[in-house]
Amino acid sequence: MVEEECRRYRPTKNYLEHLPPLNISSFETQIMHNEFERLQNRLPMETISMKRYELPPPPSGKLNELSAWAECVDNSHAQLEHQAVRILNLQLMMEYCCPAWQRYIQTLQDMEKKASKKLATLRQALQEVNWQRKSLQTKGGDQLKSLEAKWVALVSHNYEIEQACVMAEEYIQRVKQDPELINTQTVPSNSVQ
């Protein structure tokens, strides 16, 4: 869809001209920069130096010196100790790593269950609040309709009373002008009782 839109949309001007130029290399570290240069020059990758694991004999000129051999023996002891520590770490990891990870995963699962329960509780409380609001608003709407109907009835009744009063006043005015009308006419029939 994007490709289709790009084919149809042909901008008439550069709509990105207000933006600064893109700096692609801003995230690169010096190591990355050196590696990109190596790749660009098609140079082979440097191999891992195993020099620290080698146990070289003393130089040929010092083969008869005891101190040179002592230095080589110290180096071999350091290398052996380093390898022993690595083996010990691997053994400890094999023995304790799985149970530790299982405890960690169990802890995470327990935390997730607690969070899920709390979320469900909060959602239930939110639902209850919404139902209460809806109930109150529905009751309020019904009350408003009832009060409006009463108001309309009272206004209609007041209008009827006002009409009856006007007719009574007209009748009184006519009677005042001609007192003999009292015997011949009756009170208007649509008067309020």
DSSP for 60-78, please give it.
Answer: GGGTT-HHHHHHHHHHHHH
In-domain check, residue 44: no
pLDDT at site 46: 85
Residue-wise pLDDT for 18-53, tens only, equals 788 888 878 888 999 899 999 999 999 888 877 777
In-domain check, residue 99: yes
Residue 127 is inside which H or E element, if any?
helix 98-177
Please check whether residue 175 is in contact with residue 182, taking contact to mean a CB–CB distance below 8 angstroms.
yes
Averaged pLDDT, 69-86: 90
| 190 pLDDT more than 70 | no
- Give whole-number Cα distances, 132 to 30, 36, 127, 128, 139, in Å: 63, 64, 9, 6, 10
Q: Rounded to two decimals, what is the model's pTM?
A: 0.38
CA 66/CA 58 separation, integer angstroms: 10
Highest-confidence range of 101-105, 148-152, 180-184, by mean pLDDT? 148-152
| 58 pLDDT more than 90 | no
Averaged pLDDT, 2-24: 78
In-domain check, residue 29: no
In-domain check, residue 108: yes
In-domain check, residue 146: yes
In-domain check, residue 133: yes
Confidence category of residue 84, pLDDT binned at 50, 70, 90? very high
Residue with tokens 């660009």: 40
**What are the start-end ranges of the E strands in the chain?**
none
pLDDT at site 191: 47
Averaged pLDDT, 144-150: 95
Please check whether residue 160 is in contact with residue 167, taking contact to mean a CB–CB distance below 8 angstroms.
no
In-domain check, residue 77: yes
**How many structural domains is the chain composed of?**
1
Domain of residue 74 covers: 68-161
Sequence-distant (≥ 6) Cβ neighbours of residue 56 within 8 angstroms: 72
In-domain check, residue 62: no
